[in-house]
Structure 1
């Protein structure tokens, strides 16, 4: 039996090679590694799409930030390469190392790539990759919230976002709401929508009514709306006799813990840390309601995963979440209104027939979010972009 090539062998084989006939070679600037503890939904999407592209014969290399324990590897046919300085022990060093190394690492590998794909990432969305990759480049937009970060850090990050978006001529948005925002920033760009998907096993199992109210996501107090959720919970909890389970890690964990203490809800809130895979699915299935109180979302993967598990969802009525929680699958609340959110939780929590009906309808709706279909659509966009480039 022959020994499969190592990641280093793959790099040496493609370094300096001219574009050639054969499998489409994709260099994906993916930012976050799906194996990194606390990794967000963007890295899940990147891997789920790329593993299917690799199975279809494409050659995919993903450059990510480094972190303690990160290793270059082949995973499900996808070549992962962590880049940065040192071990990337915290969020800032990971970000700065990635930004500093990415152009150099991309140029080193571009002769072994037919197409470059840039994932947008916090805090300024895009590094304007088409200006320096030397290859046809597509932006995949799973994050577009630089204005919010600009307010948080008091830096003009939204100007960098605007400049970067205008550097792209072709973009893939994960929702129509995100696509509309991209068009407003760059009317000349071709913007296509390819949503996220779910694991098919999430649709299995009986529908049950759990006891807890659940939040799953990165612990970012303002962006994810945890400040509003906890304020609402302080009002609702005495009437529900239930627990709010918060699953996730993130930069604001200490602030979240302090807010829980200051609101006097420590006895009814449980922080369970980062969850993924089967543990995440089990947690959603055992919940009574999942709350997605985000101020901004580009898609709302947690909401779709909850619907697939048969658990109804309560959201703020914002564009991208509105797309993935239609009527009958959950309930919408006036954006960022803690009193309205508390009232909705109190009203819906005891209504068992409504919860079961919403769970059944939500699972039916979630069936349309299929990773195989989304990967096929994304591959078609890649090939179309290369055809247009070749004809110029």
Structure 2
């Protein structure tokens, strides 16, 4: 039995550097040096351990940019040529140093090393990545990956940009290794809220954070850094151990700083004459390290002693023993305070081993040997640890990274902050193009895909790091600006329908990373089915109205939500009222099962009595479909009208109850004044108190429910209503010729005082003062219609107001297409679905700054907000839109993109399904405890 688990993690990453236009490009040597000094020596160590039967486990993160370079034929050819030159230099060095035995022995050592490297590289067919895959298949390595181009995710502007970095990286890994990785290396260990949700959606099981990120979680981790915690998404988070980190990372006190180890910064490239080195340097004159280093660290002084590899290797063995002994003491202390076996996560940059720390691979190999032979310590991967301990404490993590200061300073400071304004603009533009171009042609699609590549390459965290450290500043600046210029050029050509194929061919040839990239990865809404694939979820959906029988927006909401949930693989059963011409049971084209109560059961004249009959009928139908057999997973009730059915079904079955409150009786009436209102208010309170999960459509609505009824047992989740853009498309033959027509103002909704149509009619005379031909179309029915007609007559605008009554979807679409502006001047509005429909149809909108409407619109950007009841201000803003077509076009375009990004039913269904998973999992835990 192990006293402790040691999880060694190496992160292998280099930025994508590929320059076919130059034979020997300086920065391409970053890859070549790492292959010769790090990756291949590590492979040798791992293969020796496997060959000798040493039981070891190590996690290796291979970045997508590194994998792309390791699989690139041009870079393989260049690396082979580089090895030939360095071997040629080694031959020259053995001749030059033949009179100095110690240095000559070192030159011979380096020459033999390079010859072995070349032999191994050629023997692998140039496919080093396959060697890592073989070791993974044999059980020694757990392979994971990171973001596509190692973008610093907290500084990636949008959810879409973060998701693209994650999914493109995972896609390349899956293509090469035939499976998704169990874990994900966050670039720079940088976590921010919401990143775990994206990783969860993508099928990842764990990631790693820095020490302070884990220890600053709320609540404080009971086991400190010796055990993972879980985010609310369910993803496991492992924290970096500070003690093992200091032993290896610290420059002066850490192992790599020992005087006996080789001095990294003393290379013959900086000691010898340029003429001798010319054949081996880029451009024949750029002094860059050759790997021929003859001196040891020695001490702080400038004088350096000759390097003694035998002594250095002995020190590496001693340091390995010290490291393992330190872990044993650490485990001994930690195990007394924990009920599970403690784990130490020791993550390092892979390039430290062999490149920066020449003896690193030897040290690591010795650590793995000792861990296998010393009792009480076992190496493990984070994925394996989760198999041993699948449950962990739940906690909320703050933003953190492993960079200087622990947050974003390294990647966002006065030396590099200029890059983000341009990156964020490009990011938004990429998402906009991905949303707009649904079926592009061949060349246009290629250009969109390449634009995505250029954006990803510009987002690499390496450029910001280089700018901060002031190393190869010119190259980093050129890369960032170059990729952004390429992106802007491509996006301009796409939008003007004039893609330059010669320019596109050039970019595809040079920046050929991610050849399978599909630009749609940047679209605003993409739902990953992995989230729901583990088991079949079956939902009882209770709604008193459902199309084609609808009264307000609730029925339409349930209809669209149910269909979107079904498309995620969730089995939805809607139980509702009868509708003329509809069967009592039907399955729609998406798989939603609709069960309708028989009209014969609904004979009561009083509405409340009718509701009781409807609820009783719903309960009967649910029981007939298998309530007692454990068929269903949960109940989802919409508003108070189905309270009785929700209560009875949940009590009889023990199923968890999710409730959506669309509006409250108090809010509709600005108070409770009658016995009927009091009854409804009480039913709402009862329903909220029973909810294992409560959903509200806006922050406004959530605050109202909290104020009226208090906190629900399962908390409140904010999930907005949505629209299906496809349902708002109007056939061109149905649209009248709009040229030269009079301005048309449109209102759509129920005719009740809280919808504020009276304010719009009061504003109409002022609007007509500037636009005499303006007309107002009022679509909808309700008890307030007669009062509104009388108001229009008193104000002298009755000829300009057209009350057209209720309209179906086709009629609504036609009205929207004919309208110049849509106005929704509500005084009370929990959400405002009709405003979203207008935005999705491409109509500028003006709304009251109240309730959910205020949350939908960003004033002056994607719509206009006015104070409730202010007809004068409403008239002014409507007039401005009619006066300025360019302003109206900007509002329309931004509103459409917002709807695509934030109010798609796919996203809303995904968020709702997460609520389902949460309440079902909590219910199962309660059953287990009971």
TM-score by length of 2: 0.36
Separation (CA, whole Å) in 2 of partners of 1:85 and 1:98: 12
Partner of 1:33: 546
- Measure, in 1, the Cα distance between the counterparts of 2:661 and 2:813: 25
Q: Is the 8 A contact 1:128 1:165 kept in 2?
A: no
Corresponding position of 1:132: 648
Residue 839 (structure 2) aligned to one of 307, 325, 329: 307
CA distance in 2, matches of 1:65, 1:260: 37
* Aligned match of 2:379: none
2:557 equivalent among 45, 53, 57: 45
- What is the 5 A alignment of 1:20-169? 23-36=536-549, 39-72=551-584, 73-76=586-589, 77-83=591-597, 96-106=609-619, 108-110=621-623, 111=627, 112-120=631-639, 127=643, 131-133=647-649, 134=651, 135-149=655-669, 154-155=674-675, 156=678, 157-169=680-692
Q: Is the 8 A contact 1:146 1:161 kept in 2?
A: no
Match for residue 336 of structure 1?
869
Map of 1:228 onto structure 2: 759
Change (3 A) 1:176 1:188: same
Residue 323 of structure 1 corresponds to which residue in structure 2?
Answer: 855
Q: How well do the aligned residues superpose, as a CA RMSD in angstroms?
A: 3.2
Residue-by-residue CA offset, 1:138-195 (whole Å, 9 max, x unaligned): 1012223434337587342434433432332311112222223233332243111222
Q: Which residue of 2 aligns with 1:172?
A: 695
The structure that has the greater radius of gyration is: 2
Q: Which runs of 5+ in 1 are unaligned?
A: 1-20
Question: Relative to structure 1, is the Cα distance of residues 350 and 39 closer, same or farther in structure 2, using a 3 angstrom cutoff?
Answer: same
Instruction: List structure 1 segments (4+ residues) > 6 angstroms apart after TM superposition.
Output: 87-90, 202-206
Contact (CA 8 Å) 1:60, 1:79: kept in 2 or not? yes
- Per-residue displacement from partner, 1:57-104 (whole Å, max 9, x unpaired)? 4332222233554542333322223337559799x8666423333045
Residue 892 (structure 2) pairs with residue 372 (structure 1)? no
**Residues 391, 152 of structure 1: alpha-carbon distance in 2 compared, 3 angstrom cutoff:** closer
Give, in whole Å, the separation in 1 of the partners of 2:822 and 2:851: 18
Query: CA–CA distance in 2 between the matches of 1:239 and 1:333?
Result: 19
Cα distance, 1:259–1:64 mapped onto 2, change above 3 Å? farther
Q: Secondary structure at the match of 1:349?
A: helix
Distance in 2, matches of 1:71 and 1:233, equals 45
Partner of 2:881: 348
SS in 2 for 1:132: helix
Rounded to whole Å, the distance in 2 between the matches of 1:338 and 1:62 is: 42
CA distance in 1, matches of 2:846, 2:699: 20
Considering fraction of residues, name the structure with more strand.
1
Alignment coverage as a number of residue pairs: 365
Cα 1:218–1:169 change in 2 (3 A) is same
Distance, in Å, in 2 between the alignment partners of 1:237 and 1:93 is 45
Shift of residue 264, structure 1, vs aligned partner: 3.4
- Higher helix proportion (structure 1 or 2): 2
1:191 is aligned to: 716
Bigger shift: 224-233 or 282-291? 224-233
How far is 1:129 from its partner? 5.8
| 1:10 alignment partner in structure 2 | none
Q: Report what 1:200 is aligned to.
A: 725
Q: Is the 8 A contact 1:333 1:341 kept in 2?
A: yes
The match for 2:777 is 245
Which of 333, 339, 362 is 2:895 aligned to?
362
Query: Do the aligned partners of residues 291 and 66 (structure 1) sit closer, same or farther apart at CA in structure 2, a change above 3 Å counting?
Result: same
Of 71-80 and 45-54, deviating more is 71-80
Q: What is the alpha-carbon distance in structure 1 between the residues aligned to residue 825 and residue 913 of structure 2? A: 33
Distance (Å, rounded) in 2 between the aligned partners of 1:153 and 1:214: 33
TM-aligned CA deviation for residue 302 of structure 1: 1.4
- Go from structure 1 to structure 2 and tell me whether the alpha carbon gap of 1:96 and 1:65 turns closer, same or farther (over 3 Å shift): farther
Question: What is the SS of the residue equivalent to 2:807?
Answer: coil
The higher relative CO (CA closer than 8 Å, separation ≥ 6) is in 1
Using the TM superposition, give the Cα deviation of residue 366 of structure 1 relative to its aligned residue in structure 2, in angstroms: 1.7
> For 1:315-347, what per-residue CA distance to the aligned partner results, in whole angstroms no more than 9, with x for missing partners?
111131111111211211111223332333334
Give 1:386's aligned residue. Answer: 920
Q: In the alignment, which residue of structure 2 is the partner of 1:14?
A: none
* Structure 2: gaps (5+ residues): 1-533, 733-737
Q: TM-score, normalised by structure 1?
A: 0.81
Report the Cα offset of residue 117 of structure 1: 0.8
Offset from partner CA, 1:245-265 (integer Å, 9 cap, x none) = 111233444444444444432
